Amino acid sequence: MRLAWLREASPEARRALLAAASGWMLDAMDVMLYAFALTAIRAEFGLDGARAGLLASVTLVASAAGGIGAGLLADRFGRARVLVLSILAYSLFTGLTATSRTVLELALWRTLVGLGLGAEWSAGSVLVAETWPAAHRGKAIGLMQSGWAVGYVLAAFLAAAVLPTWGWRPLFVLGVLPGLLAVWVRRRVEEPAIWRERGAPAGRGTGLALLLKPPLLGRAAAATSLATVLLFAYWGLFTWVPTFLAAPEAQGGAGLGLVRSTGFVVAMQAGAFLGYTTFGFLSDRFGRRPVFLAFVLGAAVAVPAFGLLARSEAALLFLAPVVGYLGHGYFSVFGVLLAELFPSSVRGAAQGFCYNAGRAVSALAPFSIGALADRHGLGSALALTSALYLAGALLMRLLPETRGRELE
């Protein structure tokens, strides 16, 4: 892909993109450490699939609260400032997860991790959207989102290197390292000019108050519904993919084991990286809606094939990057579409609420898929997420095309 578009932006915009992408990458690494450690955690605490999924759900509920709160705080105190606080929060509490001695303690630390995880996207996506010109906003958000795939792969490599020898606790200690990024962000990343010129809102809570009444209410409801079904599909599928690949065939898994499954996870995330980035290029050229529809309809076909039909290693290796590409790439729409749908005065609140209210509902996904897997096997449970992709395609029809829209 040509990179001339990167040079057209200001140095401030490029630093904002680097900060948000790095924060999102390390956010993914920290949250996916739990997914890779799930088998070991289940064994130590004697958890069945439903209860193990419930712990992941606790993190998602907390991340929803953190994301909504961060959106409001970002409108008031600044996008970059809130980004710094979010990175410090999720890195510190990921490290403290290693000290858990009971299920209750584990749930506490994962709750606090979630607050930081949710806050990072709300602050970072608005920071990027407001610093990049309309012609390249989709590309920039796509590149930011691609950090998730890199973080997922980092978690996979760390798990393969650490888990077999040292267990899951040292793995979470490594999650403290992202805190170093916060120091650089605090020193080098400026608040967007749009936010500085507008200034902080005069009243408290005005963002949500304006968002939840006409004329913004209809857009907020449609965007929240869209985020809900797609985040439910995502967390239901990708929380359990590492376990599906590693689990024995008798349990509905692929039977690869932890170490061998790492290569398949890397292949899937290579597809995800390309999905995030190419979505940005395609949506800047053809529009947000048609490219989004192509991705989610493709995912509705690819995911059941992966969960139900792929039983040889060759088939899994072929489908893993396809599922990664289609099952991740459409997420690049949220950072750009939500920014273009709402005015600057409520942009942080809109990003935080619409995306994270959806994430709150999607917190049921790991539990639901875990419970279905206990009865029907993991492959069958994962295949059921295809219906949610179809629902996402229908809901996108309720939102306008926003390509090329300038932010005031």
pLDDT, one tens digit per residue, over 301-357 is 998 888 777 667 888 888 999 999 999 999 899 999 999 999 888 888 998 899 989
User: How many angstroms separate the CA atoms of 103 and 89, rounded?
Assistant: 21
Distance CA 27, CA 86 (A): 9
CATH number, domain at 112?
1.20.1250.20
Give the burial string for 117-135 (b: 16+ CB within 10 Å, else e).
bbbbbbbbbbbbbbbbebe
Would residue 405 count as lying in a domain? no
The helices-and-strands tally (H runs, E runs) of the chain is 20, 0
Work out the percent of the chain whose per-residue pLDDT is above 70. 95
Please tell me the chain's helix, strand, coil percentages from 3-state DSSP, rounded to the nearest 5: 85, 0, 15
Query: Within a domain: residue 406?
Result: no
Residue 247 lies in a domain: yes
Q: Do 393 and 296 contact (CB within 8 A), yes or no?
A: yes
Segment 248-300, tens digit of pLDDT: 777 667 677 766 787 888 898 899 999 999 999 999 999 999 999 999 999 99
Has residue 199 got a pLDDT over 60? no
- Alpha helices by DSSP H, listed for 46-134, are 49-77, 79-97, 103-131
Residue in this structure with the two tokens 């929240």, named with its chain if needed: 224
Residue 1 in any domain: the answer is no
Strands (DSSP E) contained in 266-340 are none
Please give the residue range of the domain that contains residue 61. 11-188+205-396
pLDDT for 205: 47
pLDDT, residue 389, reads 94
User: Per mean pLDDT, which of 30-34, 192-196, 222-226 is the most reliable?
Assistant: 222-226
This prediction has a pTM of 0.82
Residue 197 placed within a domain:
no
Domain count, the chain: 1
Question: What pLDDT is attached to residue 299?
Answer: 94
402, part of any domain: no
Q: Does the residue 407 lie in any domain? A: no
Token pair 């179809």 in the structure block, residue: 390
> Is the CB of residue 279 less than 8 Å from the CB of residue 329?
yes
Q: Which tokens is 316 given?
A: 């899994």
Across the range 191-212, mean pLDDT stands at: 72
pLDDT attached to residue 67: 92
Please give the Cα distance from 225 to 392 (Å, whole number).
Answer: 8
Q: What's the mean per-residue pLDDT of the chain? A: 87
Q: What is the CA radius of gyration of the chain?
A: 20
Does residue 321 lie in a domain region?
A: yes
| CA–centroid distance for 36 within its chain | 16
Indicate whether 392 pLDDT > 90: yes
Q: What is the mean pLDDT of residues 103-112?
A: 91
